[in-house]
Each structure stands twice: as C-alpha cells, then as structure tokens.
Structure 1
C-alpha cells in the first residue's frame, strides 16, 4: 500500500534500538501494559527540545487569533469569545494512512471462545484474574503504535510471531462485501475508549505523537503526525473541539465504508455552529481522499456558506503503483536488518495487515489517464508532458501558469533536480507501464489493474476483486469530481519516488511455493515526496483548473503549491479583499513555498510523512487561516462550563451524540 516510507524505516530502526536499550533492564512475568515504560519515556523526553525554526514560529504567532490577549488570564469562554472576534478561521484536519493512533479493546471471553487461535498466538491462557499460572489479556492496548514489549507491538524478531497480525487484521464478510472486526476485538481511535478518554483532547491526541517512545520521536518528525500544527494552533489561541477539530479514523477501512463520510459533514456543521465562520479543511495523504469524496456529496449551498478552503497536502489523488506491492509479495520498508537479523513486521503480520486493509484499494493507481484521455484537459496534460520532454509545441503552451522548464525553481541541493530547473513531475501513464510481472507489462488502465488483481495477487482473487469494485464506487475519487470549493494542492516534487516495479517471477507462484516475502527485483523512480508521485498529487488539479477557466458551474480557483520551489514563494495566500474586509481567493495559480531541507536541514524533513511539520509549510497554513471573517453568532450562547463540557465530551466525533448534545445546551 502507499505508505510513509521514511516513517516505517524510522519506526523499525528506533523500536529496535529501544528494545536493545531496555532488554534485560525490564522484566516482569505479567502481561505488558502500556504504562510500564512511562517513567522511562518521560526521563528521556525531558532531554529533547523544539527545533529553533519552530520555536520562532510559535513566538511569531503567539495569541494571534485571540487579538493578542494572554491565554493564561482568560477562562474558556473568554478565550472562545476572543477567537470569534479575531482574524482567524476555524480549521478541521484529517490525517493520512497510519496517521491515527488506534486503540484496541478486548472482550476476553468472546475472544477466547470465538477466536482461540488468536488467544493462543498472543500467549494468553485465561480470562480470570485468579489464574496465576496463565496470562490474561489487558482490556485495552495501544495498537498503532504499540510500545516495544506490548502484545500489540509490530516489532517482531521471530518470523513465527503472529499476535500483532492477528490483532490488526480484519476479516472478510462475503455477504456484505466488507472487511470487519474479528469477534472479541474492537478497534477505534485513541481517546475514544474508557481508558483513553481523559487523554483525548477531543481527538487531537490521536493524530499526534503516535508513540510516547522518545527515541522514535527524536529520530523522525514523522512520529509527530500533526503534533507541530496542534502546538501552533494552541499557541495562536485555538481550542480543540471549539475552534479546531482533528478528525481521527480507522485508516484500515476504505472511503466507502469509513465513518469519515458521516463525520466530515457533521464536523463542518458543528464547527460552523460553534464559530459562525467558514472552515479551512486540511487533509494529509489518504485523508484527502476521504475529504474529496465527502465534498462530492455535500450540498453546494453548505460548501459555499461553511467552507473557506480545502488544502490537500501530499494527496495520492490517483493512487500509486506502489500500493500493489503489498498484495504481490510484501513491503521491504517494514523490515530492518540489525546484526544480520530481521526486525520489524514479519511476513504473517504484513499479510494480515495488507489483506485486512480495504483502504489499500483506495490508493491503488487509478485509470485516470485512460478514463479521461479524450477530454480537453487531459489532452492538454499530454501536450504539456511532450513540451517539457522535447521543447516542441504547436500554438500556445498548455497550462502556462506553470513555470517554464528553463526557469530556476529549486535550490541546487537535490539529486533529482540537478541544476535546480523547473519540472512538473508529470509522467504519461497512457504509454508508460507501471508494473512488469513474469515478463508481462501492465499499464494504469482498468483492464490491466483487474488482471493484476485476478492473476497475480497472493490473496483470494474473488475477494480482492469484490473489494476493489466496492472501493471504485466512491465516485468522488474515481471521477475526480470537482470539490467546488477553493483548493490548494501542496505537493513534494524533489525526492525520488517509486512508480514502476519489475517482478521477474510469477508472484502468486512464488507465494504458493515459499509462503514468504518476494520483493521486486527492479524499481524505477520519478519525482514526488518520497511516497506520493507528483503526477498523482497534481493531476486532478489540471482538471479543476480547466473547469474554472471554462466557468463551469460552481467551480472555484485552485493553487498548485510546490514545496521547496522558489517561484512566487512570497505571494500572499489570498489575492483579494471583499467589501467587508474578508480575504478571498479568486485566481488560479502556481506558487512555491520554502522548505527546511533546501536550507541545510535534514532531507528527511521533506518526506511525505514529515513535511507537515516543516516550519514553512506551517507558516503557509497560518496564512490561510488569517481570513478576517466576521462571526455571525452570539458569543454568549454557551457558558464557560458548557464549553468545557463540549471540549471534554467531544460530541462532534460521536455520531449518535452530536445533535442531542447541542440541543441540550
């Protein structure tokens, strides 16, 4: 599946280091609980500090949204009312795959009776607290990311370990054509359970700092998730559940089955009711697919009145060829060799996770190049690719809002962009194959994609075809339906990103013979953010740009925003001001923003899972938030106690409670 390449490698490496540090220091014959290492983590955590650039950003925007008032001297209601009078828009953000901390709840008796093999594989033998000779499971575990010695840890030294795979995997219900939980197991987002609700912060703590392990957190910003954004928002004066809302979800489920399709419109309504202002909706990675599909089903009147902007960061809008590798033989990014021994997610666990994730089908490469080949905008895309490759064009240059190939775009520090010249990152998938298996080549069209699933997937072909068909019914994704709100697509275009894979053998036959990993022998790379190819992120932007230029009904302007580009990087986010003083976007354009990794920072900071914590990315997001909207609600409708209760109970994320909770206040 499309994944956080740098994220996975960091987690595996850091977890192994932690294990080696602690092995022998901690030993207990009781089953692991997530709190065992808390003191150890807190001790190490105290030695880690914020990067200087982010510190400066916090200082720059301190209390901006509450008119410069000192938060420490305001109660909940006073801060809330200052926000309503302030210049900032509310914000909703949706994380990507692996971007939500998941919590596992166990019904011990049901699990033991209905799934005794899972019970055994995890080393449990009893549900009784009085049986001292056998271990019983805890009632809850952190599933993603579980700590080193937890039963729910994906770090496995033994190739025979099965516990994590059994706990993370879903099972196929043929009658309903869905993947569902195993009996005795329930997975939800961290903060949505009895044991974690006091640490929820209305969903915010489930999309940040996926582990308390300070070694992992120090090794990569990927572990932070939306952590830097949340810290920045709180410094600016935002309040979780009132003026900003994180939207965690079970990333294993495909868009059509996910709760997000109900939650996103509910949260939009809730935040508008709380603030009387239009929201910025920010997505990262897979989260953008959930947002795009949801927007295709929201009435235009609602979008016009309640949504200010959709910012899509690193969106795999048309998927990625790399999503195939999990179903063809496994993903090497989940493994790390240390002293000749493999650590990480073993074959069994990878297969359970991959086959139990219907979201894989959302991020399979789509047939967009083939599907739209006769439409004017796609014809212009192909012309643009040809122009960039050979410099020859008849008549005018298509999409001339993009920089010219002879312009200097990026600092000359990237191996993929020697000389720093401008490149769009587009690849013509009408002619280029994406996969080669057993000397058979496949392109990104419907016929070839179905053939790959039917003939070469190592999983049940009928099940895979049915799930793929169901995922394909998310029309907002496959038809690239215009969201009909102003859009900014933020994309990386400087890192090697895999897009073509060559398996010299028949993948299914290798699986049947070895029941073990089989990785591609050859891989081609293009431009992207290390995970999402550039063409996947920006292709829909050309369709929506074309529709806006042609004045299609309800279409809105779009920005293509390239990370690390120096072109137009000082342009303001909004290009006009209304009579009331509200900032507005009325023009479609290309623009760049700076990045830490082009200014001497770690190149890893520009990877897909990391750039959302980049100080320049965050500064760009802040600029989008300064809209100078006038709130249209009476700020005195809630007492301070009622606001505290809303922040604690977080009804916006509890589907059955939202309307009732608000009506009672």
Structure 2
C-alpha cells in the first residue's frame, strides 16, 4: 500500500514540475521588502511582518515614482530638447528614413560621431551560470547563494536562473547591493576575479569560479538588444526602487537619450563602450572597441569622432588614443574627460584596507549595502582599483616649471584671499581666473572666489598608527605589504606591475584636442588615518574597520581636483610655450565664471561657419544640479553626466558644422542594418601587386604579378530568418586584358560555404538545454508506460524479455539493453528512466552504460524507494559521446 501511494505521488510530481518556477524569481523565495516614499526615503517591511507583500507587488508603485521623475527631467530640458530635435539630421526624423538616407543626412549635418565610455562600477555586468558545473565544482558558492538544486522538478528547492544581472543586482536577487547581513557571501563569491600571471596576454589572465561566466550587459543571449551596448551603461538597475531613489545608477541614461533626440543612432553615429570594470585598463577590450568604432564612423560618415569618458572611462579613452598611430588619431575630433581621475583617487585604497562606508546606507536604523566580505573580494581582486591608485606625479615632476607654477598658484590664491589684496608678484597661471572674480555657485563648502583649489598630492594619503604612506610605487607596495593579508597580497602586487602605463604615467599628451571637465565644489577625502592596525581587526571580526580620521581637500566628493586638473595644466603649458599646437580646455563644472550661459570650447568660426578649437585655457561651466530640489539632484561625481547643463555643453561640443570628407556613404542598406544590430563581421586585408606568390601569373610579367590566397572563417550568432552575404572589392579596373596591357586587376573566391548550427529540433530554448528547460525534443521511442514493447530489447543478452507483476505493477528485472543504429543527426539526446528497488538488500547497484561507458552509477543501500534518472547526452551527427 505504501508503494502504491508512492507511485501516485511520484507521477504527480513528474506531471506538475515543468510548470513550476523554483528559481529566485518566484515570490515564494523572496525576503524582506523595501519601499521608497515620494520624498526618496527607503522603508523596510520584514518577511515576518503581517503586512508583508512581495517586492514585485510594489513594482508598479515604484515605477510610477520613477516615471514622474523622468517627466520632471524632460520638462526641465523641454526647451533644449525641442530646439535640438534631429539637429544632426537636418530636422529629419531618423525613424522615417532608410539607414542609407539617414547616414547621408548625418554626413550633411553639423554633428560629429560620439563614443561614450563609462566609469568604474558604471557598466552593467551580466552573469551566466552553468548550474551543474557550479554545484559540482564550487558547492560552497552554490550554498552561499541559497541554491539547493539544478532541477526544476524539485520545485520545493531553490535553483538559480540561467542569467542574472550581477551589477547592479535587483533588491531581492542573490546579488543585491542592499545586504543586511554581514555574513552574506553570494555577491562577493561571484564578483571575485581569479588571476593567472603566467598568461602572457593580460586579457587571458582573468577568470571566474567554475560554472560562472561574466560579461557586460548586451553580450549574452538573454541581454542582447539592438542598442550596441548603450543599455549597458545606463540605468544600472532594473529595480524601480533603486532607479527612483539613487542618482549614481543613472549612468549615461540622460546623456544618451539627449543624443538620440539630436538624431544619433546607436551603432551608426554613436557608440557605447561598456567593459568589465573589474579588469585593468590593459586587460580590457575597451581600447579595441573604441578604435573599431572610430574606424567604422569615419568609414560611414567621413567624420572625426569625439570620445566622452566619465571617471575611469577617461583613462580608458586616453589609453586607446595613446595606442593609435598618428594617422589613426587624425580620425579623432577630441577627448572629453568628465571627472576623470587622471592622477588616481586616494579613496580607492580605503575599501581594500578596511572597507568603504560610502557603499552602505541606513534603512530604519539597519545597516544595508555592500558588506565587508563582498567589498574585500571585489576591491582586492579587481585590478581596475589598482589602476586608480594615486600617482607619483607630484614627486616625479616636482622641479618642472609647470609644476612649480601650480604650487606657487596655490600659495598665491591663499595670500590673495587672506589679505584681500592681489599679491605683488605675477600670477603664476595667468590664464586661470583670479580670486577677485566669481567662479563659485554659492556652495556651502567653498567660497565664490575663483581659485585653483588644488592640493599637493605629495603629502601622505594613508596613515596606519604611526607610519605614513605616499603615492610613490615604493611606498604603495609598502602600504600593501603592511596592511593586506598574505592571501590577497601577491595578486595585488602583480596588479601593480600590470597597471603600469608609461605614456599616462609620464603625462604624455594624447595627441588630440582635450577637454578636461573637473569639479572643486565639494570636500573630497584625501587622507585616511587609522589609529589601529586594520588587518587583524577585519580578519578577526570579518567586518569593517573604518578610518579614525579623514582629511579632505576640494574635488567632486570622489576625485580630487588635483587629480583631474594637473595633466590638463601641463598640456596647456605646453601649448602656450610652443611645445605642441594641440589645444586643451580646462572646464570647471559648477562655475559661474561665464554666468548662466553654457560655455563653448570653440574659439571662432571660419568662412563656412565651421567652429574652430585652437586655444587652450579655462572655461566655467554652470550646472543645473545646484537648482535641484529632489533627492536625486546633487553635484557629486556620479551625477555629473546626468546634469542637464553639462549635457547641453556636450551637445555643443558635438555640433561643429565641420564638413565631411565624403558626400554620401558607400555602405549599403544591408551593411548598415548589420552594423546597427551589432552583426558587423567585416574582415579587411590589404595586399599589393608584389604580395604573395606567383600562382597564375601574368602573361607579360609571369614572375612579378603575384597572388594571395586567404581563408576566411567567420562565426557569429544569427537569429534572423535570412542571411545576406556581400562580397565586394574596391579594385577599379577590370581583369587582365591582352589588348589593354595596363589593366591587370582581378580577384575571385571559391569554396564558399555557409554552415548553420541549429539547436536541438523543436527546442524552444537554446542555452543550457537541460531536460527541465527544453521540453520539446522530438520523441524517438517510449517504452513501458501504457504498454510493454519488447522490440529490440534484450534481457541478460537474451532475445526474450520477461515481465512480472508486483502489487499490481508490471515490472521487469535484470540487465536490459538496446542498440539504436539509425538516429537522425542531433546534438542532444534525453534518456529518461524510472528505476524501482524493493526490500532492504545492501550492496546492490544501478548502472547505466552508454556506448560502453558507465554514465550513471548508484549504490543502493537500505533503499526501498524509486530512483528517477534523467540523462542528457550530447552528440554531433552520428558520432555519439557522453557529456556530463
């Protein structure tokens, strides 16, 4: 009777399991709920509270708050948006044009192409999970995330999704940034990078834990879209609660929306450059993407490109240009750095030593945010943090004239303000406004007097007990060795070597026009001091030990003004002293020096109304953040690229009226569609008349005109019903003609093959085809459900298969086998078996063999229940193999 009941229950489970969701999306598994009020305050409802409801039930409410904020933003910018609508396409709506017509309008229009490079923690990261591998090889991580199974049939247990947004994770995802438990480890385990110094190429040195694959949003099957990476650098969170309460997560949202309003199309005239912000600049693919985009834009439009870099993105942008040839730089209009830590940021050392409380916040007196475990894993294994260590510039260039001018001007400003009189000696930087002029915008933390407001970065940035540490390499290594435990130390020391960038460290001019935007309106952490040794405290408590004292200087609350300004001052010095003819503009964000009007970097226009950028110097840029009344409007580091007036400034930078080098694009509609949708697989090569070997020859010159044979193989994801292949050449002459001796150009191709790799036939999902997620395989054979079919089956290598009845159930026993010899070509095969064992006999075992290989082995000790087995086998064509 017990076994009959068990059989009924088993059938029920098998029947309903495919229709249940036991992933983290299911409200059954949700924890506490967070609610944002209209004034921006966050409230928390515990899971045990009688009034608790799933977070998803408040999504609409939070979305309404977010949409109201968006409405206010657009209303604030209404006049500007209306005046610049489709300005880049001469007033024509891009959505109403063919792509060819659109590009031609852009060519005739006044705008330059644009590339947007985000800062650190400003690219959305997507994680793909191979559940079985993760569970098998890193069960500790699997358990830390609260997962218990990889099977959807075990609906009472929690399983991971195939993909998540790792950064920034939703409130109730395993990767939430609102951690309320210092022991939460899931996010820290996933964000950790593993490093193999032995690999020659820095790009190949980094990996995640087994079963984990991390890339930027848009670069995975579930996150792919047609925005060419733009969605990866805006609105970092999908949660309306975060979108409506935090401004730093906006990213380039407002910025890119404005460009689209002007007539830009992602992939064709504007390009995002997302990247894995954990990896060092030299290990990032950002340089490749930036260079490729510049080439593509120049080819399509005949125009030069402006690169906008925010925060760490400024360093990625300049490094990309450093590695270009002079000819390639001719295709770059300029770089605009926005709050760029060009000399690093002292606060990057803080999370490595004892944690950074700026990633924490209060929810009804409860600490929430990124806990110490996650901060330690993230900051100590991310080489990008080492990229941002403060540089030794104020030591290395101490005696240089331009550096002495900076140091003297700092003293000059203080003397001017303290006495109220202009010092008798000359202004050391006479192109920078003097203190009797107005630059400030009524900020609490700085006066309105125009001042350099730079600090001397040769002073110590860290004190631990009685020892001081400075921004030289030797002192930095000492700081690491003294304050980081041995488990993480070597990896950080390796990063110090990998992150050396000679041109950047020497402040070499990138070789293109520069616009450097900085802020000096807020006091910014500059020096951190610990009265006790942090390492033993954080190691024993597994919790934060924050600095006992923090000393500040002027900046944007994250990057010191000195870090952003110093290289620009050097480059301005070089132009004014004839060492370069390339201009640099130093632009102070939230400066009233130019009044309320939005400043322009351009100095004049020529006869054709083309704007001219030729002079170096200072500009004041007013800001809208100081007028804001809502919780998400402020003037700090992360919000700069969302400021309406800075965005207007950027639009003026892009509106040049410069003439294109071409009148019409040479790209076809199909090519433009492929580029826009991210399917650009163009491969190029250059050969000359004497390149290669003589294969066919030329009758007149059999040993001089040579041929090149190139094998091209292009693999790419393809989700459309059709595929267009275009093969063309720019050879301008017809093949060899015996009557016209000089016409000898020719080309051709052979062995052209198109192969398509299909998913399993009928499968509705192609990634991670487990039997639980891919339910529509073509049936080959079903045995022993409604009837017993013995065709082809052998029992103990005999032709006859016998059956018996046990409690009115038909069963068979022994070794059963069958051979299949005519399966259709396939990639995967699902074998589903239900096995029963009776009584208490020990030392029995169940074994499944496929092609002579033992695939499933189960020892049956004190078992009297059933074993339900589902096997997924991988196979290619008729070559069968087993994939675990």
Structure 2 unaligned spans of 5+? 1-33, 417-421, 685-712, 718-723, 729-884
Q: Please give the per-residue CA displacement for 1:257-301, whole angstroms capped at 9, x wherever unaligned.
A: 111122221121112112110011100000001111221111122
Please, what is the CA RMSD of the aligned residues? 3.0
Q: 1:256 aligns with which of 275, 282, 294?
A: 282
Q: 1:153 to 1:662 in 2, by over 3 A?
A: farther
Of structures 1 and 2, the larger Rg is shown by: 2
SS in 1 for 2:77: helix
Residue 438 of structure 1 is aligned with which of 456, 462, 465? 465
Matched, 1:408 2:433: no
- Say whether the 8 Å CA contact 2:36–2:241 is kept in structure 1: no
Residues 561 and 591 in structure 1, CA contact (< 8 A), matched pair in contact too: yes
User: Contact 1:455–1:461 (CA<8 Å) still a contact in 2?
Assistant: no
In the alignment, what sits opposite 2:314?
288
Shift of 1:525: 1.4
Q: What secondary structure does 1:508 align onto?
A: helix
Q: Residue 311 of structure 1: SS of its match in structure 2?
A: strand
Question: Distance in 1 between the 2:560 and 2:66 partners?
Answer: 35
SS in 2 for 1:166: helix
- Give the structure 1 partner of residue 803 of structure 2: none
Of residues 221, 245, 269 in structure 1, which corresponds to 2:247?
221
CA distance change for structure 1 residues 657 and 428 in 2, over 3 Å: closer, same or farther?
farther
CA 1:662–1:405: 2 relative to 1, 3 Å: farther
Residue 135 of structure 1: how far off its partner (Å):
2.4
Task: Report matched runs for 1:460-471 at 5 Å.
Answer: 460-471=488-499
Picking from 361, 365, 381, the partner of 1:336 is 361
What residue number does 2:763 align with?
none
Cα distance in 1, alignment partners of residues 260 and 57 from structure 2: 30
Contact between 1:497 and 1:530, CA under 8 Å: does it hold in 2? yes
Q: Look up the match of 2:105.
A: 82
Return closer, same or farther for 1:13/1:494 CA change in 2, 3 Å cut-off. farther
SS in 1 for 2:649: helix
Distance in 1 between the 2:615 and 2:135 partners? Answer: 60
Counterparts of 1:498-577 in structure 2, within 5 Å, are: 498-553=525-580, 556-568=582-594, 570=597, 571-577=599-605
Q: Is the 8 A contact 1:435 1:442 kept in 2?
A: yes
Correspondence 1:272-283 to 2 at 5 A:
272-283=298-309
CA distance in 2, matches of 1:654, 1:134: 48
Tell whether 2:377 aligns with 1:352: yes
1:99 to 110, 122, 126: 122
C-alpha separation in 2, matches of 1:144 and 1:263: 21
1:132–1:658 CA distance, 2 compared to 1 (3 A): closer
Deviations 1:18-64 (A, max 9, x none): 76499865559xxxxxx998766655544442323222221121111
More helix by share: 1
Corresponding residue of 2:90: 67
Q: Give the match's secondary structure for 2:72.
A: coil
CA distance change for structure 1 residues 276 and 610 in 2, over 3 Å: closer, same or farther? same
Cα displacement (A) at 1:452: 0.7
Q: Give the distance between the partners of 1:465 and 1:247, measured in 2 at CA.
A: 28
Q: Does 1:204 align with 2:230?
A: yes
Q: Aligned residues, how many?
A: 642
What is the aligned partner in structure 2 of residue 623 from structure 1? 652
Q: Is the 8 A contact 2:146 2:158 kept in 1?
A: yes
Instruction: Quote the Cα distance in structure 1 between the aligned partners of 2:610 and 2:195.
Output: 50
Rounded Cα–Cα distance in structure 2 between residues aligned with 1:445 and 1:653: 45
1:186 aligns with 2:186: no
Q: Residue 601 of structure 2 aligns to a residue in which SS?
A: coil
Aligned counterpart for 2:410 among listed residues 378, 385, 399: 385
- Verify the 8 A CA contact 2:217 2:223 in the aligned structure 1: yes
Cα deviation code 1:94-134 (max 9, x no counterpart):
00011111111111222122222111111222223333343
| Corresponding residue number in structure 2 for 1:422 | 450
Give the drift of 1:593.
1.0
Dislocated runs of 4+, deviation >6 Å: 11-16, 21-24, 35-38, 652-663
CA distance in 2, matches of 1:85, 1:597: 35
How much has 1:572 moved relative to structure 2?
3.3
Shifted more, 338-347 versus 600-609: the winner is: 600-609
What is residue 362 of structure 1 aligned with on the other side?
Answer: 387
- Asked if 1:266 corresponds to 2:292, the answer is yes
Bigger relative contact order, structure 1 or 2 (CA pairs below 8 A, ≥6 apart): 1
- Pairs within 5 Å for 1:2-13: none
Query: Measured at CA, do residues 77 and 164 of structure 1 come closer, stay the same or move farther in structure 2, by a change above 3 Å?
Result: same
Query: Does the 8 A contact of 1:318 with 1:537 survive in 2?
Result: yes
Q: Which runs of 5+ in 1 are unaligned?
A: 1-10, 29-34
Q: Decide whether the 8 Å contact of 2:437 with 2:449 is kept in 1.
A: yes
Distance in structure 2 (CA, Å) of the matches to 1:184 and 1:16: 38
Q: Distance in 1 between matches of 2:222 and 2:152?
A: 19
1:397 matched residue in structure 2:
427
Give the Cα separation in 1 of the matches to 2:302 and 2:588.
Answer: 32
Deviation at 1:632, TM superposition (A): 2.5
TM-score by length of 2: 0.68
CA contact (8 A) 1:241 1:652 kept: no
CA distance, structure 1, for counterparts of residue 647 and residue 682 of structure 2: 25
TM-aligned CA distance change 1:388 to 1:153, over 3 Å = same
1:139 aligned onto 2:162: yes
1:399 CA displacement: 2.0
| 8 A contact 2:35–2:43 mirrored in 1 | no
Residues 507 and 66 of structure 1, relative CA distance in 2, 3 Å threshold: same
Aligned partners of 2:36, 2:254: CA distance in 1, in Å? 23
Cα offset, 1:405, TM superposition = 2.2
Residue aligned with 1:539, SS: helix
Q: Does the 8 A contact of 2:62 with 2:240 survive in 1?
A: yes
After superposition, the Cα gap between the structure-2 partners of 1:307 and 1:457, relative to the gap in structure 1 and judged at 3 Å, is: same
CA contact (8 A) 1:16 1:155 kept: no
2:153 corresponding residue in structure 1: 130
**Cross-structure match for 1:480:** 507
- CA-CA distance at 1:494 after TM superposition: 0.6
Cα distance in structure 2, aligned partners of 1:591 and 1:597? 18
Q: Deviations over 1:179-206 (max 9, x none)?
A: 42222111111111101113x5111111
Q: CA deviation at 1:83?
A: 1.2
Q: Which moved more, 1:317-326 or 1:126-135?
A: 126-135
Higher alpha-carbon deviation: 132-141 or 80-89 = 132-141
SS at match of 1:477: helix
Counterpart-to-counterpart distance in 2, 1:486 and 1:493 = 23
Change (3 A) 1:484 1:314: same
* Greater CA drift, 165-174 or 309-318: 165-174
